[in-house]
A and B are shown apart, each in its own frame.
Chain A
């Protein structure tokens, strides 16, 4: 999942936490005889848990598959992070392995490869912030300014498409066009010019990676801007135009203020999510450009743990990243609140 999509997720979540289904009528359900109360919108506190169980057991049963999934593939693995504090040996298991306290984290601190991975992660995140972040906004403004609905739809369908291609496919396509035996270098060779190692030069790798990300996800990330553009009142434009405001003044005084809150929110969230720059993209190009340029925290975890067999070291790196990442997101959310934006987790209002 791309980071822009994750931001979308958080936006969605924010709309959610504030309440469940609209309680239209707060009329108490009938409790006559042995019949279960009818309505789900009876204030919960007024019923005993037995009554509620009798009323809701089918709903509870529906939660079972999902909760089982979360337990097996989320919450129990979270507990599995204890191996970060152990010298984990697969044949001894978690219960048999020796506890080493914070030793793995100390080792991590003195491991130069870890710092390379951290540096690459932050460098890539900054590149993405500078080069990727403004593109969807610009695209949305262009699409919004298109008068022909047909062209608009056609263009939208086209730019959303790469989001649904896998990273393997995207890298394969880039190789076919820009790789050593790819279209561009083939043409250069035919013209008798020197070839350019677009795909394998570690120095330009951050730029390449950012371009790949723009190609794949900028169109999709545009959706959220288009949605907020659509919510700007059209009569504002009309009034401004009647008062003599030209195209650019309308954009400056109406469009951008209308987008301000979503821009600020996405920006803060992106900064809070700075430790996640993507994983598959870098794993796939690890061999081509070398670890020095393409190792990020997630690939470091993978190579240290799964490939190198340093289970505990990998888990320690993963856990450190997860915890710091979560703290950063919380901090970003606090900043958003300070600025008067809704943020990811809304405080519950009146429920």
Chain B
């Protein structure tokens, strides 16, 4: 059945038919728009081409899935299976949380998790506040809007450099505090641009209508603009959150105090650099180091895997690609 027939019948039905008829047509056209299938003019793939494509897609998928599966499974595997398999397993036969119990037995890892959670939560909140206010104020033709916009866009072209940033953070007295991990990351021009182009697409009429009803700019932002922008706020917020969670370099240069280490720095010091974990974490009897390393990897990975479906749902909705297309 071809698409034109459906659309014409749906037109007829909307004029004459009963409610259930209309529902059926709606469901059918929804199915069709969800998966239009192969267009009539497109020839089916030749066996060779189809096989090559399947191999490429399969290979790429496996290259992403296998490492993730490997670390999760190995972190959950028990000693016997690990020894039998020679260090790595792709599926834990008897899942055990011994490795997690070990890394969380000292205060070290719990603190690191706390620090990461704190900088992610507070940082995302501050970053959203700064980005939303700035993006809204420059999205309307107001006094000084254009020069301020230029101030932001210039940051895309040039970076102040590592050393001057370090000296600035030091000058502000933020060294060895969590604020050195939060404040420098509370604004990103990329997120600003995404947010601003979304605000610019909000019809001026809505805003003017609110103004005529006596709303102030603050009130318009809160009562009109923000409720319309939930999707973009979610995406930008998640971008910031992922950024804060993933940051390790700031911690590496600004933090000396081990009790302020975020998870990523622990991961770097004890997995990538292979430092002795048992000592730092303060555990005496340990499961194999392999599974403890894997457990730390999973602790750093899991929050991303958890928020990813939400993130993905929104950016495929077109918030980001819409912004890219301008």
Contacts and interface: CB of A to CB of B under 8 A. Distances in A.
Nearest to B268: A168
Contacts of B161: 77, 81, 301, 315, 318-319, 321-322
Contact of B272 (A41, A175, A182): A175
A67 B257 CA distance: 31
B204 A22 contact: yes
B87 interface: yes
Interface in B224-273: 242, 245-249, 253, 264, 267-268, 271-273
Interface stretch (B19-27, B52-60, B98-106): B52-60
B60 A159 contact: yes
B326 interface: yes
Interface string A297-313: 01001100110000100
A214 B89 CA distance: 26
4 tightest A-B contacts by CB? A15-B326, A66-B134, A80-B164, A166-B246
Interface string B124-166: 0000011101101111111111101101110111111111111
Interface stretch (A110-118, A126-134, A201-209, A221-229): A221-229
Contacts of A102: none
B240 to A, nearest CB: 12
Contacts of A14: 326
B6 to A, nearest CB: 17
Interface of B: 34-39, 41-43, 49, 53, 56-57, 60-61, 63-68, 70-71, 74, 86-88, 129-131, 133-134, 136-146, 148-149, 151-153, 155-168, 172, 183-184, 186-187, 189-190, 192-194, 196-197, 199-200, 202-205, 207-208, 211-212, 216-218, 221, 242, 245-249, 253, 264, 267-268, 271-273, 290, 293-294, 297, 300-301, 304, 308-309, 311-312, 315-316, 320-321, 323-326
Contact of A162 (B64, B159, B221, B323): B64
B217 A39 contact: no
Contact of A67 (B151, B199, B204, B253): B151
Nearest to A53: B143
Given A12-B190, A279-B249, 14 more contacts: A20-B145, A21-B200, A38-B212, A63-B144, A66-B148, A67-B148, A80-B164, A149-B36, A166-B247, A190-B86, A227-B324, A315-B163, A319-B161, A329-B157
Given A60-B144, A69-B187, A80-B168, A302 B204 contact: no
B68 to A, nearest CB: 7
A183 to B, nearest CB: 5
Interface in A49-91: 49, 52-53, 55-56, 58-60, 62-63, 65-67, 69-70, 72-81, 83
B162 A306 contact: yes
16 contacts: A10-B156, A17-B149, A39-B208, A40-B140, A65-B130, A67-B134, A76-B168, A77-B167, A157-B316, A159-B60, A162-B64, A166-B248, A176-B71, A238-B39, A283-B249, A319-B161
Interface residues of A, number: 119
Nearest to A163: B242
Contacts, number: 330
Given A56-B142, A56-B143, A314-B163, A63 B308 contact: no
Q: Is the interface of A mostly helix, strand, loop or mixed?
A: helix
Nearest to B41: A241
Contacts of B60: 139, 155, 158-159
Contacts of A15: 197, 323, 325-326
B326 A20 contact: no
A193 interface: no
B53 to A, nearest CB: 6
A260 interface: no
A106 interface: no
A70 B152 contact: yes
B102 to A, nearest CB: 18
Contacts of B155: 70, 74
Nearest to A71: B151
B230 to A, nearest CB: 19
B160 to A, nearest CB: 4
B166 A306 contact: yes
